Structure 1
Amino acid sequence: MVDRHLDAHLLDPRLLRLFDALFATGSVTKAAELLGQSQPTVSIWLARLRAELDDPLFVRTSAGMLPTPRAEALIGTVREALEALRRLIGIRTPFDPTVAHRRFSISMTDASHLTLLPAILAHVRHIAPGVRIEATQIGETTSEMLQSGESDLAIGYISGLETGHFEQTLFPQDWVCLANRDHPRVRGGLSKAQFIEEAHVLIRGGTGHRLLAEAFEALGITPNIALELPGFLGLPAIIGSTDLIVTLPRHIGETLAHFYGLRVLACPIAISGFAVKQYWHARFHHDPAIQWIRGVCATLFQQREVRGLEPAPLKSLPENS
């Protein structure tokens, strides 16, 4: 508990600097020059200092302003206090990834595990060999995890975060369809009529599921769902070995197509796009380590020029920023 009575008697740091300067120079004039103050101002400060410490402290002699025994007894404490204040001002040390040993926890979706995490890991292992990455799942507790520091960063699309979080847009997402490379009915592309007729795989949960459902409802479409999956595990094998199609955000769709030899098709229906962003809490906005990992993600994934401006709090940040 703070003792306000004691706080009222704490010395002004300017008086501590004057004490040190007078002890070092033995001259009010030289102390004023050292402090960048006028001599009358320094004389006023000295009077305050004497009153606060109830001692003359420095006495004028033919050899200059000499310290009293009390001043000599206090000079060590005064200099320790000044050094402590200097350390307090400069307490934030730069983060050096080349020698750092630390764990970063990044919350992300299953899709980001496949599309973003490999690039983050490759970059970090090259630049910061002592840094470890922990990937956690974006979910209902992500906001609290960012606030507590359990999660350093979240990457994806998160709506409804409370005030106190920051966000930065990385890249936009639209939609594609994936099919077996030898699918007999979509070699020339996928029409809207074909889209409605073909059998689909539906990935449940997340932003994609919600936006896809909203598009179906707006267009009055009842898709032919042959299979529902909770995530992307097994999806490439299913698409690659059947005539089913799946509709996915472009980044995950093109990534799966590249690695598993699937066909990417333009999505023939209108589905709302969204932006993949990185999120962090205001508590850690100025943390040098968190600034570094944010910079890594922006460097790797951001598709627009970064002008060195920090993103604004969520409540005032436009969605299309």
Structure 2
Amino acid sequence: MLNSSIKNLDLRLLAVFDEMFRTGSVSATAEALHMTQPAVSMCLSRLRRQFGDALFVRTNAGMAPTPHALSLQEPLGKAYRLLCDATSSRDPFDASTSSRVFRIAMADAGYLALFKPLFEFKQRQAPNISFEFRSISKDTGALMAEGEIDLTIAFSPQLGPGIYQQLLIEQDFVGAVRCDHPRIDRQISWSDYAGEQHLAVSLQGTGHWVLNNAIEEVGIVRHIGWQAESYLAVPPIIPFSDYIVTLPKAMARFFAERGVLKYFELPFKTPRILVMQHWHERFHRDPGVVWLRKVMFELFRDL
């Protein structure tokens, strides 16, 4: 059935089938493919005639694939991805005129440090390009495979199979306190670090488990006065408390330049954080993603 039917399929039909399988929704498929809903419905009608099957039927949970659609998903999905790779590799990418939207997953540590240089770069060289930033989650790898996320920037996340990676920057952890802290200046002893209360920040993609392991290995038990899941907690808390916060150096520099805190070397060794950029093999040769990777590599080199 597949061999006799596929000769009349075009890329748009494959795209509609693939997106319908992913979303189970005509409206969501239309939005994702920048088509009208009637156009998607017409493509579905062509697909149904082509394969002699309803393919997707309406249920309370949306448009569900029929058994025949399930059997077609793997071969048609492979065909669609191969065609996308082949056509995208021939299309030039001009950042100065493109209006493409790039979706990047990263922790707020990287976002805050990257915001200013990326914004300035965009204004100069890619004024019409848009960036969407998302948090890292357990679904990030799957979203990358589906093309919903173009790039993930993080410390060793578990993103699943088919992921390429490249080292962007190696970072040290440092300690930081408010600028007029009554007991701590630019140096700190082991006992000082252990004796103060701490603001602890722990979020996915930042390598904080490495820090926690290093602290445990030297026998320090921190008194956690405040636990947060974002570095956005630093500006409203550190300047108005005596807490110590331990964070990546680029993040500490970002806050120090804005008068939020002063930072210092830790009185014990911690492994360096290897910040990587990750992308899915489906989009390895996508000219836009290739451009984005080069931009991130250059910007992180200067952090």
Q: Which residue of 1 aligns with 2:300?
A: 301
Instruction: Give the counterpart letter for 1:109 in structure 2.
Output: A
Q: Which residue of 2 aligns with 1:154?
A: 152
1:170 aligns with 2:168: yes
Structure 1 distance, partners of 2:88, 2:225, is 61
Q: Which residue of 1 aligns with 2:44?
A: none
Taking a change above 3 Å as real, the CA distance of residues 98 and 213 of structure 1, as seen in their structure-2 partners, is same
Q: Which residue of 1 aligns with 2:35?
A: none
Please state how far the C-alpha of 1:257 moved relative to its aligned partner.
1.4
Structure 1 segments unaligned to the other structure (5+ residues): 8-87, 304-321
Correspondence list, 1:45-60, <5 A: none
Structure 2 distance, partners of 1:89, 1:136, is 28
1:217 aligns with 2:216: yes
Whether the 8 Å contact between 1:167 and 1:279 is mirrored in structure 2 is yes
Structure 2 distance, partners of 1:164, 1:128, is 29
Q: Which residue of 2 aligns with 1:254?
A: 253
User: Secondary structure of 1:163's match?
Assistant: coil
Q: Kindly provide the CA deviation profile for residues 220-267 of structure 1, in whole angstroms up to 9, marking residues without a partner as x.
A: 221111111221223123211221111111111111111134111111
**From 130, 133, 147, the counterpart of 1:135:** 133
Q: Kindly provide the CA deviation profile for residues 4-61 of structure 1, in whole angstroms up to 9, marking residues without a partner as x.
A: 7x99xxxxxxxxxxxxxxxxxxxxxxxxxxxxxxxxxxxxxxxxxxxxxxxxxxxxxx
Taking a change above 3 Å as real, the CA distance of residues 188 and 108 of structure 1, as seen in their structure-2 partners, is closer
Q: Which residue of 2 aligns with 1:267?
A: 266
User: Secondary structure of 2:180's match?
Assistant: coil
Correspondence list, 1:1-321, <5 A: 1-3=1-3, 92-187=90-185, 189-206=187-204, 207-302=206-301
Structure 2 distance, partners of 1:148, 1:299, is 27
Q: Kindly provide the CA deviation profile for residues 92-140 of structure 1, in whole angstroms up to 9, marking residues without a partner as x.
A: 1210111111100011101122111332232123211111110111111
Structure 2 distance, partners of 1:157, 1:91, is 29
User: Secondary structure of 1:277's match?
Assistant: strand
Q: Kindly provide the CA deviation profile for residues 260-282 of structure 1, in whole angstroms up to 9, marking residues without a partner as x.
A: 34111111122222211111001
Moved over 4 A (4+): 88-91
Please state how far the C-alpha of 1:163 moved relative to its aligned partner.
2.8
Structure 2 distance, partners of 1:132, 1:269, is 42
CA RMSD of superposed structures (Å): 2.3
Structure 2 distance, partners of 1:301, 1:189, is 27
Structure 2 distance, partners of 1:242, 1:90, is 53
Please state how far the C-alpha of 1:212 moved relative to its aligned partner.
2.2
Structure 2 distance, partners of 1:191, 1:295, is 41
Please state how far the C-alpha of 1:286 moved relative to its aligned partner.
0.4
Structure 2 distance, partners of 1:298, 1:213, is 28
Taking a change above 3 Å as real, the CA distance of residues 295 and 91 of structure 1, as seen in their structure-2 partners, is closer
Taking a change above 3 Å as real, the CA distance of residues 186 and 131 of structure 1, as seen in their structure-2 partners, is same
Q: Which residue of 1 aligns with 2:69?
A: none
User: Secondary structure of 1:276's match?
Assistant: strand
Taking a change above 3 Å as real, the CA distance of residues 91 and 120 of structure 1, as seen in their structure-2 partners, is closer
User: Could you state the TM-score of these two structures normalised by the residue count of structure 1?
Assistant: 0.64
Whether the 8 Å contact between 1:208 and 1:249 is mirrored in structure 2 is no
User: Could you state the TM-score of these two structures normalised by the residue count of structure 2?
Assistant: 0.68
Please state how far the C-alpha of 1:187 moved relative to its aligned partner.
2.1
User: Secondary structure of 2:282's match?
Assistant: helix
User: Secondary structure of 1:220's match?
Assistant: coil
Structure 1 distance, partners of 2:273, 2:209, is 12
Please state how far the C-alpha of 1:160 moved relative to its aligned partner.
3.0
Structure 2 distance, partners of 1:94, 1:232, is 38
Please state how far the C-alpha of 1:192 moved relative to its aligned partner.
0.8
Instruction: Give the counterpart letter for 1:144 in structure 2.
Output: A
Q: Kindly provide the CA deviation profile for residues 163-199 of structure 1, in whole angstroms up to 9, marking residues without a partner as x.
A: 3111110110111111111112112510111111111
Structure 2 segments unaligned to the other structure (5+ residues): 8-85
